[in-house]
Structure 1
Amino acid sequence: MEVAGTTTAGGGEAGRGGAGSGDWPSDMVLEAIADPVFIKDTDLVYRACNAQFAEVVLGRERDAVIGRRTAAFMGTWIAEVHESRDRALLLDGGAQTYEADIRYASGARGRARFVKGLLRDRAGAVIGILGVMHDVSHEVELNRARARAEQANAAKDRFLVNMSHQVRTPLNTMLGYAEALSLGMVGDVTARQREHLESIQRAGRQLEEVLTVVLDVAHQGDPSRRETVTALVPDEVCAQALRQVLPEAEKAGVALVMEESDPLLAEHRVWVDARAMRHILRSLLASAIAFTRSGGRVSVSARLDRDRVAFRVSDSGGGLAGDHVRAILDRGHAGAGSGMLETPAPGVGLTIVKTLAAAMGGSLDLDSVPGRGTTATVCLPVDRRRDGGRRRS
């Protein structure tokens, strides 16, 4: 950065580096700059500055700054730090940028970025240095906060991985014994015992899937995991979810209904994490089935809603008032109610669903009417490319 002096000075003596008073930028120009600005001659004496520099940084009137050097306002050691950089700039030319801790006239401490360049007269001779200070204290604090957040995120990831390992080990042991028992490897089992053992295995596999999904949530920001995104047909996703929960629905005496297909979705796909999508629908359907009375009804549908696909799971449970619906979405909230909102610690399950939907650019909404039931809606961005649903892995 090199600036030629082409304006008229607003007062002050001539520059001692051989420049006349007409070579210094005017006060009007300097005051138009919001950041603190100063000009030194080649002897490192202040020749001009704006009020921001004189009053806010040095705590002096501007006239008391002109004609003096940095050591008159700061400690000798601090002055030498800045002036050594000034001398290097005069020797090497070009521009200079650096950051340093500062103490303002008010006593407040901060950090500033100094940007300096040579100032030349009309003949091209170097007559001094033009410097601009920009406070970067906020940027520094943001960087520190970002570093703390990254450290906390890394600690969270390590915790989840360790937790998953600690849970999976006994879980796999339990599933192995349950499978051995159901196969009669340690003796004959009755049909009822086999049914119970198969229930244990199903529950264990569901828990294993939940652990996997939780780890996926923890790594949503990891670019290396983007290969899990797949193009899915909305109606096929719903149909597959219904097939997965059909045994539970039959056992509970609850009717499962696949709503009529939306013709507008025929040539559209959703790009989602297939495993997360399966968990979302299965979680919502299982909750609705588990707490819908025998003879009740649970339905699922997919509809095009402008640029999003709305997946809806509805039950015929008792429903909740609006304030309870809002409360149920709080992390870990476990409240009383009916339908899918009545699951043990439902807020935990719905928080996972909500987090998964948000990670895929979507949202979760609940609509519950007391005495009529609850509808959970997960909206995800639609892919309007008519590519025949080609999948990528």
Structure 2
Amino acid sequence: MKDAALFESIAEDSPDAIVLVDEKGLIRFWNRTAESMFGHPREQAMGLRLAELILQGDEPPPSSHGPPEKRSASFDAVARSATGALLYVNVASRPIGMASEIGACEVYNLADVSQLRTRRDAQLLEARYSQLLDSMPDAVVVVNEIGRIALVNPQAEEMFGYRASELVGTPLETLLPERYRATHGRHRERYMGHPHARPMGQGLELHGQRNGGEEFPVEISLSPLRTDLGMFALSAIRDISERRRVERVLEEKNLELQRANQAKDRFLATMSHELRTPLNAIIGFTGILLMRLPGPLTAEQEKQLSTVQQSGKHLLSLINDLLDVAKIDAGGMQMHRVPIEARALVDEVASTLRPIAHAKGLELAVRASQPAAWVHADRRALQQILINLANNAIKFTERGVVELFVEPASDGLWAMGVCDTGSGISQADMARLFEAFSQVGSRQHRSSIEGTGLGLYLCRKLAELHDTAIQVDSQLGQGSRFWLSLPAVPAQDEAAA
């Protein structure tokens, strides 16, 4: 009993952690240094096994079995504190006998050599790699297997606001915001267990913390660094504060543009309705005057009224296009897809536009490979597409034929469209053909043809609402062919329609 009391009084004040383990491997003494070094209070450590409590890695503490002269040992190990932090420890063990109820036991002397070993590794790493790392554009931090910083380059010193001497030997978590430190150790250990190269920019939201507490966003690439000193992790760190600032500015500008675009759509929709009401009255009363219902007209009056009526109709067409475009862009255009007999719709469009074609001396023909072809589409939208395409063909054809067609396409689709013998389209103009308010062709040719530049843009938008696109085949001086492909309606659906 006196031996035990003497041992405890001496061991209690030792600068190293002193642990006494009985012949069953259970802790029977745990001094104050062990408490501060590993963070486990004495009452918590007593009765536990040393290997389970703090020692990590493959090398277990020496066995307390066997001849006493063979049981003394000294080895290096990795220990884990109560907070989860890892330590390099030098462990010396020896058998001890004392007069007490404990009986035969072993005493372990554990010295924390983390700082010493890290600084030793730092000197060797600096001699080998500092010249290479100093030339890198990014900040570089090299960390050993227990998460202590072993090497930094000047860019890392500048980025984080520390001198290299202040960082070497400290936990990597020093460079992280407080909220990440508790979980980072587990992530680091998983990486060291299965080290692999991880490039920058993999969508992770990462932050660093400068000396003084300022947080900043970073991108980090990780690479394993295998040396004869052991495994290290090399982190290349990039400050992306400026990029994030620019991204935020762009996001704000995009929101402003979206709000401005929505305001424009609302304005167009409102004004289009407001303008159509008086314009319809102008066109209607002009028609009444041209019908001579109020009384006779002179030839000059009739000519002037016809000009007013034609201009009014042209303006109404522009307003209608603007209204439709505004509806589509604002998501207000509702599609009602139903089975439609394509040949009948094409005949209807041809009947509407044939007087305009005949007035220019053009033939407006209809070609259908089968008498009945059914497609699934919104009738009003499809009719508007065909009218716009055919009207364009008539405008840009001086002689020959404009033809509306329906023909089978591949994979259960029907192609519907218009071809003409007009002026055709150059390859340079093809790229901007479907842009809003865009008119192609020579300036002289455009000036002689009325148009808003919205017709093909509207066709494109209406086709997209049908999950398809307007196709074009044209060469300058050799005419054009515009078409879209729509799904055929099964026979049973045709019957139901």
Q: Same fold (TM over 0.5)?
A: yes
Q: 1:209 aligns with which of 320, 333, 338?
A: 320
Alignment CA distance shift 1:310-1:201 (3 Å): same
Aligned partner of 2:263 in structure 1 is 158
Alignment CA distance shift 1:38-1:174 (3 Å): same
Deviations 1:121-151 (A, max 9, x none): xxxxxxxxxxxx9x99889987875665354
Amino acid at match of 1:358: E
Deviations 1:77-114 (A, max 9, x none): xx6xx436757999xxxxxxx96753699xxx96369x
Alpha-carbon shift at residue 313 of structure 1 (Å): 0.8
Residue 477 (structure 2) pairs with residue 335 (structure 1) = no
Q: 1:8 aligns with which of 43, 57, 66?
A: 57
Residue 442 (structure 2) pairs with residue 306 (structure 1) = no
Q: How does 1:206-245 map onto structure 2 within 5 Å?
A: 206-219=317-330, 222=331, 225-245=333-353
TM-score by length of 2: 0.50
Alpha-carbon shift at residue 178 of structure 1 (Å): 2.8
Residue 147 (structure 2) pairs with residue 48 (structure 1) = yes
Residue 398 (structure 2) pairs with residue 293 (structure 1) = yes
Q: 1:351 aligns with which of 457, 462, 469?
A: 457
Q: Aligned to 2:423, what secondary structure does the other structure show?
A: coil
- Quick one: distance in 2 between partners of 1:284 and 1:186? 36
Alpha-carbon shift at residue 347 of structure 1 (Å): 5.2
Contact 1:241-1:281 within 8 A present in 2 as well: yes
Alpha-carbon shift at residue 257 of structure 1 (Å): 0.8
Q: How does 1:265-284 map onto structure 2 within 5 Å?
A: 266=373, 268-272=374-378, 274-284=379-389
Q: How does 1:1-393 map onto structure 2 within 5 Å?
A: 8=57, 13-17=78-82, 47-48=146-147, 67-68=170-171, 70-71=173-174, 73=175, 82-83=177-178, 101-102=207-208, 111=217, 148-184=253-289, 187-188=294-295, 190=297, 193=302, 199=310, 202-219=313-330, 222=331, 225-262=333-370, 266=373, 268-272=374-378, 274-293=379-398, 296-307=400-411, 308-326=413-431, 328-329=433-434, 332-336=438-442, 343-344=449-450, 348-377=454-483, 379-382=484-487, 385-389=490-494
Alignment CA distance shift 1:372-1:217 (3 Å): same
Amino acid at match of 1:282: I
Alpha-carbon shift at residue 254 of structure 1 (Å): 1.8
Contact 1:9-1:21 within 8 A present in 2 as well: no
Q: Between Structure 1 and Structure 2, whose CA radius of gyration is higher?
A: 2
Unpaired runs of 5+ residues, structure 2, are: 1-53, 60-75, 89-139, 186-203, 220-236
Alpha-carbon shift at residue 226 of structure 1 (Å): 4.1
**RMSD of aligned Cα (Å):** 5.4
Amino acid at match of 2:317: Q
Q: Aligned to 1:310, what secondary structure does the other structure show?
A: strand
Unpaired runs of 5+ residues, structure 1, are: 23-35, 40-45, 74-78, 91-97, 114-132
Q: Aligned to 1:259, what secondary structure does the other structure show?
A: strand
Deviations 1:330-361 (A, max 9, x none): 55244229999984567543233233323432
Contact 1:254-1:298 within 8 A present in 2 as well: yes
- Quick one: distance in 2 between partners of 1:60 and 1:9? 36
- Quick one: distance in 1 between partners of 2:141 and 2:77? 16
Amino acid at match of 2:325: V
Amino acid at match of 1:360: H
Alignment CA distance shift 1:368-1:104 (3 Å): farther
Contact 1:271-1:383 within 8 A present in 2 as well: no
- Quick one: distance in 2 between partners of 1:9 and 1:316? 85
Alpha-carbon shift at residue 159 of structure 1 (Å): 0.8
Amino acid at match of 2:457: T
Contact 1:303-1:310 within 8 A present in 2 as well: yes
Deviations 1:212-239 (A, max 9, x none): 32123313xx3x6545444433333322
Alignment CA distance shift 1:228-1:384 (3 Å): closer
Q: Aligned to 2:368, what secondary structure does the other structure show?
A: coil
